[in-house]
Homo-oligomer: A and B are copies of this chain.
Amino acid sequence: MGLDYRVKCCPDGLVTDRRRRIKVLDCTIRDGGICNQWAFDHAFVQRVFKSLVAAGIDYMEVGYKTKHGLFDRDAVGPWRFCDEEDLAKAVEPGQIKLSTMFDIGRVTPEDVPHSRDTVIDVIRIATYAHQLDEALRLLDDALEKGYETFINVMAVSTLTPDAVDEFLLRLAGSGVHNVAIVDSFGAMYPHHIRYLVHKYMNYLGENIKVGVHFHNNQQQAFANSIVAIDEGVDFVDATIHGMGRGAGNCPLELLLFYLDNPRYDVAPVLEMVESFAGMRDGLRWGYHLPYAITGYYNVHPRAGIERMATDERYQVREMFEALAGRHADRIRGVG
């Protein structure tokens, strides 16, 4: 028997204390759904639901709430809309906190039932910083209707420090319950996470929880989650087998290994990973060079997703140099 690094080698006793109170939010169906247009059938989502409940996960994000008519229902699965009749076929209330995400411009208060008329417990509003007025209107409505509320300010890596301070000050007085640090482009390294975790916690104060939602373009989604946990955040987003837009997210199974907390049971998640492993070969989330390059250049993964969808060969030299040109322009203030 060797060194049990998990227990003995941690130089900082605090780490264990912090890890104990972490909450885990699984957003496989919502963020993973971006890979397959939310085409999971009801029985599959029910299996995911049951696995997450059995694993002791704290939150399950079941999709986006979207105004009717904005997407073609023949092309896009039910978890882009999260209608009550679809939810009723896949999930049950009271076993795990159920969340839906709102995109700014794709949902308005009249699309949102009172919390007593839905299985949904939590509304997460995804917003860019420049859309915060509209996000706060949706927030006020969600609070009035009795929801637990999260706000995810996306692509924080593209903002100046002043712009981050500005939206955090507004969120601090907004009544929101949770705010996540969102690395939409997979651009951030551990030193950015340390910087932002302290900034978010300082500005948001004691009554607003801080979470993280990371992308894996540079193989940092899980590693940055570890940093965030050690710096003291309250919750972490993950997806089964890391399924998510582009390079994907922090893999839930790795997060549960790391947390090593008897409150969670990783075994039901491992069985679900088998189902996702087959999907990954076709949908190609995970580590691929085009995503690494968009992450490195701190831009939306769009160019990487297009490259992966249209071409077996990466042809990355051209992509890398095009982005290098844009990057240089931005530094010179042209872009």
* A residues with CB within 8 A of B: 1-5, 8-12, 15, 157-161, 164, 187-192, 194-195, 216, 218-224, 226-227, 230, 241-242, 251, 253-254, 257-258, 266-267, 270-271, 273-274, 277-278, 286-289, 292-293, 296, 298, 312-317, 320-321, 330-331, 333, 335
Given known pairs A2-B159, A218-B257, A296-B257, the reply for A9 and B273 (CB within 8 Å) is no
| A330, B160: Cα distance in complex, Å | 51
Q: Which 6 A-B pairs have the closest CB atoms?
A: A223-B223, A2-B158, A1-B330, A257-B296, A5-B192, A10-B191
Closest residue of chain B to A242, judged by CB? B287
Given known pairs A273-B289, A277-B314, A316-B274, the reply for A219 and B222 (CB within 8 Å) is yes
A187 near B5: Cβ-Cβ < 8 Å? yes
Report B-chain residues with C-beta under 8 Å of the C-beta of A216: 219
Report B-chain residues with C-beta under 8 Å of the C-beta of A194: 11
| A3, B190: Cα distance in complex, Å | 15
Given known pairs A15-B191, A226-B189, A270-B317, the reply for A157 and B5 (CB within 8 Å) is yes
Closest residue of chain B to A221, judged by CB? B219
